Amino acid sequence: QVQLVESGGGLVQAGGSLRLSCAPSGTISSINSMGWYRQAPGKERELVAAITIGGSSNYADSVKGRFTISRDNAENTVYLQMNSLKPEDTAVYYCNVKIPYGYYWGQGTQVTVSS
């Protein structure tokens, strides 16, 4: 069973930066897109950013201009560079890989931004 392995979460002060990374533990064929979602306590999971195999990306309005998603197609690794972090960015961040007939999810990595 292929798993998505995430890393890079942690505790940072407001205004700081973190970089998340996610890579599959094995081969995943026919990836359509890779992305990051987040879920804060008491809130629904929401899309943060996603990037297609062709390199097109989209972002939640709340992170535009602060977060950048990128991917290494050869390694099927996706990154999320998070700058100018705010306390409201505090959440569990989940990696997501979309294939034609389903999804893979990572286990989640905690990002905590202190004020």
pLDDT in tens, 87-111: 999 999 999 999 999 999 999 999 9
pLDDT value, residue 94: 98
Give the C-alpha separation, 4 to 41, whole Å.
22
pLDDT at 73 over 90: no
pLDDT tens for each residue of 35-69 = 999 999 999 999 999 999 889 999 999 999 999 99
Q: Look at 27 and 22; give whichever has higher pLDDT.
A: 22
Pairing verdict, β 77-82 and 91-99: unpaired
pLDDT value, residue 112: 98
Instruction: Report in angstroms the alpha-carbon separations of 33 from 9, 41, 70.
Output: 21, 26, 11
